[in-house]
Amino acid sequence: MAEISATSFPSSSSSALLFRSSHNGSSKCQNVACPRTTSQFQELSVRRSQIVGNAVFTGHASASRSCKNQAIRAVLSSDGTALANDSKEAGLRGKLKKVVLAYSGGLDTSVIVPWLKENYGCEVVCFTADVGQGIKELDGLEQKAKASGASQLVVKDLTEEFVKDYIFPCLRAGAIYERKYLLGTSMARPVIAKAMVDVAAEVGADAVAHGCTGKGNDQVRFELTFFSLNPELKVVAPWREWEIQGREDAIEYAKKHNVPVPVTKKSIYSRDRNLWHLSHEGDLLEDPANEPKKDMYMLSVDPEDAPDQPEYIEIGIESGLPVALNGKALSPATLLTELNTIGGKHGIGRIDMVENRLVGMKSRGVYETPGGTILFAAVQELESLTLDRESIQVKDSLALKYAEMVYAGRWFDPLRESMDAFMEKITETTTGSVTLKLYKGSVSVTARKSPNSLYRQDISSFEGSEIYNQADAAGFIRLYGLPMRVRAMLEKGI
């Protein structure tokens, strides 16, 4: 149960709104909104009910919360009202009622807020997803959203859902794009976009917006998810509409609309981080001939500087999905978090590649995926015990298409869902454990075992076996090689 209460301060006549969440009789303060005058608070009490994330705020200061593991914050708008009044006037480009914006707090999304209000005459609800990008990227978002003119900020913790429902299915499928890319950004976009569709329904929005450029893959990934889950939502992509051409234009627009410009030093790289990976693009990386600088990496040490002693770890797997580390059962997100730390310490998971973007151009990116690299090695190795030759070949062939669909943003496509059902079925016996040796950037398999292993030592041994008669091989070879023999006979006129 959640509640809003007004607290008076002795030193002034103002009040503050406190969002408190209670469960099983306990109360825990989640957030403190900005101070308001008594008259403003009285005005708020007669406003209509508003839904924020999964909590419903009403004038009687009561609310309910339906989903666990979701952090939700409500932010007041910059003019002191709890929610912006619906404007009856259209903007420069048309009229929308309310837009849910994928919001990071950076320069681009900060200027998108006033741009949406100016061009579409709408209320803007900012949405931020926590997919494990780090607490620093979430600091101060309430203040930034308020200063930009947003009426609300909704923050949801999606880390467990991200790992369990998006990362692990790709891991089970063996999905790798163009031989190297472990799909870190590709998997994160549909879970974020799905949450945006949910928030749009909760707050009564008629449109969603994102800050993706018109040159990248992410615009496709976001919008295909929107189309799949709610085709009635309008989609606004400012980078495909506005006149802003770069950072300096954005700063000028921000100043004109009194939006505080972020004072943090601008990275020379374009980065995307989540619990699975960290990507680096831009600047000197745009020339494939340039070696990445040593100080660019953030999740992993240089393999040359990694410990001189190897570390052995054991990954427990059930039906193709990791469940334990060194004998300890862990949740999906916790398991991945610990492996990121261990792998990063040993310089595991650095990938430098030139990839083919969906929109047609090539791009060069450097990826750090320490925990993911370890998990891929473990799962694939266990499959060598539990899957037969034909199953592995079919699974690997489908994995290529699976990865292509995820990369292209077709997560909710029935074809991917059907392939996922196959992957779940084919790996239901892939249970066991794999021991790995981590040393200076490398992952080596040292042991693997499974109660469902198809490996039989009594058959594979060079010693005699009652099951396998070596003399049977002669007839097999003659039949197996018959097509080749017939072709050779034709060529030689026999």
Residue 413 appears among annotated catalytic residues: no
Considering the candidates 108, 272, 283, 413, report the single residue annotated as catalytic: 108
Q: Are 237 and 214 in contact (CB under 8 A)?
A: yes
List Cα–Cα distances, 135 to 12, 131, 132, 219, in angstroms.
33, 10, 8, 25
Residue 36 appears among annotated catalytic residues: no
Residue 47 appears among annotated catalytic residues: no
Q: Are 129 and 191 in contact (CB under 8 A)?
A: yes
CA distance 92 to 332: 46
Considering the candidates 218, 228, 300, 420, report the single residue annotated as catalytic: 218
Residue 218 appears among annotated catalytic residues: yes
CA distance 52 to 75: 10
Considering the candidates 73, 189, 416, 448, report the single residue annotated as catalytic: 189
Considering the candidates 14, 87, 270, 319, report the single residue annotated as catalytic: 270
Active-site residues, by number, are 108, 189, 218, 270
